[in-house]
Amino acid sequence: MDALTALRLQIEWGADEALDEAPVDRFAHADRPRQGHAPARAPAAPPSRPMPPPSGSAPGPVLRAQEVAAAARTLEELRAVLAGFDGCPLAATATNLVFADGNPNAGLMLVGEGPGAEEDRVGKPFVGPSGQLLDRMLASIGLDRTRLLITNLIPWRPPGNRNPTDNEVLTCLPFLLRHIALVGPRRLVLLGGLATRAVTASTVGIRRMRGRWIAVTIPGLPAPVPTLPMLHPAYLLRTAGAKREAWADLILLRRSLNAEMSDL
Ligand code: URA
């Protein structure tokens, strides 16, 4: 994307005046790190840990998901075990498994919620309207799908785009956590409340989680992953007023990449 297109997007989103390099949230609570000031190297919040049910108490499909996901040694194996997994009813109604798109070696990984109609038809994440907005958002900070890997918490489309049930989330989560562990990203972006809740095990809403880096412990990875929860593009399509916050988060992401991953 050229500079003019990026500028148009910024103007459309309300960034109509250049006062500073990053917005300052003057209403933020004193105990909350200010937007744009979270250090790129040291994530702001203490590590949080995903809380899959302990093996003994997990329902059958969740237990099986944990076992087969843990056994996958490569992304190809993980895709294959997901394709053969019959413990999630969503697999039966979906047209395609939606596994991932982009570059698994880039060091940056994005996680959305689950496929919609277009993604289900094509078999790739974020190719419908919210994906097109996401592509424009990423392009505005110089990113495209060769520079990141994108996947979803739920790899099969819920019928009629309904929300996935808690059991479906719990069953799919081990595959996502294994996916993240196999990729080993240096930066993780969680798009929307569902992915953020599942991966961080936090009950805090996305509007309060976004705007700062947190450190998330992923089973199988040696160190917590710096993680940025962001608003979901589908939400941004419905909520024009939220685009300023999304732009602030994109700036946080760009700054962190500039500081730590200059090849991106
Ligand atoms: N929304 C998501 O969260 N993921 C997709 O792949 C598409 C829309």
- Does residue 230 sit in helix, strand or coil? strand
What is the 3-class SS of 32-68, one letter each residue?
A: CCCCCCCCCCCCCEEEECCCCCCHHHCCHHHHHHHHH
Among protein residues, the one with the nearest Cα to ligand 1's atom 7 is 126
Q: What is the DSSP letter of 26?
A: T
Q: Tell me whether residue 166 is in a domain.
A: yes
14 confidence band (pLDDT: 50, 70, 90)? low
Contact predicate 151/100, CB 8 Å: yes
Q: Identity (one letter) of the amino acid at 85? A: F
The pLDDT of residue 23 is: 58
Question: pLDDT band for position 108 (50/70/90)?
Answer: very high
CA distance 128 to 122: 10
49 CA to centre of ligand 1 in angstroms: 24
- Ligand 1 centroid distance, CA of 199 (Å): 16
Report pLDDT digits (tens) over 83-92. Answer: 999 999 999 9
Whether residue 15 has pLDDT greater than 80:
no
Model confidence at 66: pLDDT above 90: yes
Edge-to-edge strand list for the sheet holding 149-152: 45-48, 214-216, 225-230, 187-191, 108-112, 149-152, 101-102
Q: For residue 163, what is the DSSP state?
A: P
Q: Give me the amino acid identity at 151.
A: T
Six-digit token string for 106: 């880039």
Residue in 97, 130, 133, 150 to alter for ligand 1 test, most ligand atoms within 8 A of Cβ = 130
CA distance 89 to 100: 20
CA 21 / ligand 1 centre spacing (Å): 30
Give the per-residue pLDDT at 53: 53
Do residues 137 and 15 make contact, with C-beta atoms less than 8 angstroms apart? Answer: no
CATH code for the domain in which residue 138 is found? 3.40.470.10
Q: Tell me, what amino acid is at 141?
A: I
Q: What lines the ligand 1 site, CB under 6 Å?
A: 112-116, 119, 125-126, 128, 130-131, 152, 234
Residue 32, pLDDT above cutoff 50: no
The closest of 168, 167, 181 to 75, measured between CA atoms, is 181
Give the lowest-confidence range in 19-28, 196-205, 242-251: 19-28
Residue 68, φ and ψ in degrees, nearest 5: -75, -35
In-domain check, residue 43: no
CA-CA distance, 121 to 186, in Å (whole number)? 31
Residue 156 lies in a domain: yes
174 belongs to a structural domain: yes
Atom of ligand 1 nearest to the CA of 194: 3
- Residue 263's pLDDT is what? 87
Mutate to test the pocket of ligand 1, among 119, 124, 134, 196 (most ligand atoms within 8 A of CB): 119
Instruction: For the beta carbon of residue 59, count every other beta carbon within 10 angstroms.
Output: 13
Substitution candidate for ligand 1 out of 120, 124, 145, 152 with most atoms within 8 A of CB: 152
179-222 per-position pLDDT tens digit:
999 999 999 999 999 999 999 999 999 999 999 999 999 999 99
Residue 136 structural domain: 59-263
pLDDT at 51 over 70: no
Residue bearing the bigger pLDDT, 74 or 11: 74
Q: What type of residue sits at position 109?
A: M
- Work out which ligand 1 atom sits closest to the CA atom of 124: 6
Return the pLDDT at 42.
Answer: 39
In this predicted model, which residue has the larger pLDDT, 175 or 262?
Answer: 175
Total domain count, the chain: 1
How do residues 148-182 score in pLDDT, each as one tens digit?
999 999 999 999 999 999 999 999 999 999 999 99
Query: How much distance in Å is there from the Cα of 130 to the middle of ligand 1?
Result: 7
128: CA distance to ligand 1 center in Å? Answer: 8
**Helix (H), strand (E) at residue 185:** none
Residue 152 alpha carbon, nearest atom of ligand 1: 4
For the chain, what is the mean pLDDT?
87
pLDDT at 59: 73
Query: Is the pLDDT assigned to residue 125 strictly greater than 90?
Result: yes
